[in-house]
Structure 1
């Protein structure tokens, strides 16, 4: 489990914990966050449980004071780690939750020997991913009604982080 404290925030802000999903209860929390963000909020898809890649991927759950607040997933394909389903509930955005999720997924990918991390970023989040070291690749495209951009992080030039 990863525990990160946002050092830019008030000392009274609770720690963000990110852990691998290992129980049915955790997986239900992941699906609930996906449904809230990708179905209800963004009207992107109602099929948040029907992704066959979930069976062979690492899903993570971010919590604050044991409350599920965010999720993300990474799937290995050879030397590439593909990140998907990164979501943070509205009231917890801009508090370091997304960064904690991504850092956890990136570290795990490095530990598995991945050379690259790729993702399809919603364009409103491009700067967020750039701050993590991702670079845009190719043309923008639409998934549903939301514009996306493929992005890549080259782990070969990134130092290992504990």
Structure 2
């Protein structure tokens, strides 16, 4: 069973950073000083749990009326099992609940197809982050309640 939760307690938040360390630092050789940043303190961190065991994570940073989805990391053994898509859906739902207009992200180029299947559109030139080619992507969110047509 797969559950997505917002990391609230010390133990859940520690699991977020362990997962990111395993995927980004150990697997992809991202320098640790580039993996953790000042946005971690204000971000909402999401944790994917398979039968209670942490297997993936992602974060939502609010920037004005938009969200920045980032640090999406899924353990290798869990890839292709819907964990990443479930995390993205939960982050988008939280962004919509907060009334944000869109979600943006910086996708590793090899993951463009994954995000395109989830409704994201690439824009701008490719760029490098932590020695890895990235592409900016964006998805408009459906407007939530309160309007005359709702």
Do 1:31 and 1:49's aligned partners in 2 also have CA atoms closer than 8 Å?
Answer: no
Q: Show the counterpart of 1:22.
A: 8
Shift of 1:139: 0.3
Give the TM-score, by structure 2 length. 0.91
Shift of 1:154: 1.0
Instruction: Name structure 2 gaps, 5 residues minimum.
Output: 145-150
How do 1:78-157 and structure 2 match up within 5 A? 78-156=64-142
Deviations 1:73-112 (A, max 9, x none): 0011111100110000000000000000000000100110
Pairing 1:59–2:67 present: no
Give the TM-score, by structure 1 length. 0.85
Across the aligned residues of Structure 1 and Structure 2, the Cα RMSD in angstroms comes to 1.5
Give distance in 1, aligned partners of 2:6 and 2:25: 23
Shift of 1:115: 0.5
**1:43 partner SS:** coil
**1:47 partner SS:** helix
| Count of residues paired in the alignment | 144
Moved over 2 A (4+): 47-50
Do 1:35 and 1:48's aligned partners in 2 also have CA atoms closer than 8 Å?
Answer: no
